[in-house]
Homo-oligomer: A and B are copies of this chain.
Amino acid sequence: MAETTIKDIARQCGVGVSTVSRAINNHPDINPATREMVMRVIEETGFIPNNSARNLKRTDAKCIAVLVKGITNPFFSSMIQIIEEETQRDRYALVLRHVEADEDEVDVALELEKEKRLRGIVFLGGRFTHSEEKINKLKVPIVFSTIGIDISDWIGRAEFSNIAVDDRLESCKMTEYLLGLGHRRIAFITERPEEAIGRRRIGGYREAHADCGIAVDEGLICYVQDELDHFSMENGYVTAKKLLESGKKATAIYAASDLLAIGACRAVLEAGLRIPEDISVAGYDGIALGEYYNPKLTTIRQPAEEMAKRTIRLLLDVIAGRQEHQQIVFPAELVERESTGPCPAGLADGLR
């Protein structure tokens, strides 16, 4: 079937091309009945008009790229959905690109930028180890969202925006909560401090201990397996299993993501231990799954929906020149559910 043109539509309707054009563009100067007839024919033929208001709709539109590390993490899928809705409302097309763990997201972005209509970039998740020089090669506005950037390093920089929670503060909050339940041997499943997110969450864990005058047992900081996705259930399972088999006693496990925590729960249950009666387990992120898991998961809930909305609104505002770049810190919330409880009697002081 040859492609339908505006002339075909005009012929089929028995009107001129300019009438079809007026109908498409919702021009006031056209009889409503004629407009309706034309639009019906357009609908039936599947004709997609060029050079009209409708071609702003999707693929002919200027576009925004979202580069995400960790696309299988439900924390990001919920954010992506919101970003999609907002970009569509603003008639931008969205290019969603999953970045592999070993890929450099800025390299990927530099290539995407060759797309002439690319107007802005969102980096979602992942680490942040790029030089300022390299970032500056990207010429379109950028928003980093929920990325491990040390916020203090970047305050005042005008070249890009950054949206995140204060990972150090929130991690400190969770550790304080567990210490407050009497736990003195809190294992922490985390990325290594060489990763920005790992560094800041470990920082918070240490800070809480220091504030309470409790020494950290370095053996309880359990690094995830590098060869597996750093925040996955599988990695949580493997890492917790190793801890439990090591003979190191812990009365609580705090994991740097909810998926890691769920994997850890599986290892705890398989070891024949009860949660939270024998051992407490806490996560970080606040994904929906935490409410459905058995037991319901105690966590740090990042306001993913608000952060996603702010991320894309800010990018669109910067693109349109309505706003300067901004560094925005969102508060997170400690949500206490079923997976954490008081330190088992006798263990708190006994193991201190």
- Chain B CB within 8 A of A154 CB: no
- Chain B CB within 8 A of A108 CB: yes
Write the nearest CB–CB distance from A275 to chain B, whole angstroms. 8
Question: Given A71-B81, A81-B72, A95-B95 in contact, is the A262-B292 Cβ separation under 8 Å?
Answer: yes
Question: Given A237-B292, A263-B292 in contact, is the A78-B84 Cβ separation under 8 Å?
Answer: no
- Chain B CB within 8 A of A80 CB: yes
- Residues in B with CB closer than 8 Å to A293 are 293-294
B294 and A269 within 8 A (CB): yes
- Chain B CB within 8 A of A322 CB: no
Q: Which of B57, B58, B74, B98 contacts A72 (CB 8 A)?
A: B74
- Residues in B with CB closer than 8 Å to A96 are 96-98
- Residues in B with CB closer than 8 Å to A110 are 46, 48
Q: CB-defined interface of A251-274 with B at 8 Å, one 1/0 digit per residue?
A: 000000000001101100100000
- Please name the residue on chain B nearest to A107 by beta carbon: B46
A95–B63 Cα gap in the complex (Å)?
12
Which of A9-17, A111-119, A144-152, A158-166 contacts the other chain?
A111-119
- Please name the residue on chain B nearest to A268 by beta carbon: B294
B289 and A59 within 8 A (CB): no
A71–B82 Cα gap in the complex (Å)?
12
Write the nearest CB–CB distance from A89 to chain B, whole angstroms. 12
B237 and A266 within 8 A (CB): no
Q: CB-defined interface of A19-47 with B at 8 Å, one 1/0 digit per residue?
A: 00000000000000000000000000010
A288–B46 Cα gap in the complex (Å)?
41
A95–B266 Cα gap in the complex (Å)?
36
A60 and B269 within 8 A (CB): no
A230–B114 Cα gap in the complex (Å)?
39
- Chain B CB within 8 A of A77 CB: yes
A114 and B265 within 8 A (CB): no
- Chain B CB within 8 A of A332 CB: no
- Chain B CB within 8 A of A1 CB: yes
Contacts of A52-71 to chain B: CB distance below 8 A: 57-60, 71
A269–B296 Cα gap in the complex (Å)?
11
- Chain B CB within 8 A of A352 CB: no
B114 and A48 within 8 A (CB): yes
- Chain B CB within 8 A of A221 CB: no
Write the nearest CB–CB distance from A119 to chain B, whole angstroms. 14
- Residues in B with CB closer than 8 Å to A81 are 71-72, 98
- Residues in B with CB closer than 8 Å to A269 are 294
- Chain B CB within 8 A of A167 CB: no
- Chain B CB within 8 A of A197 CB: no
- Residues in B with CB closer than 8 Å to A94 are 97
A292–B283 Cα gap in the complex (Å)?
15
List 6 A-B residue pairs with CB atoms under 8 Å apart, sorted by A's residue number: A46-B134, A48-B110, A58-B108, A95-B95, A234-B288, A265-B294
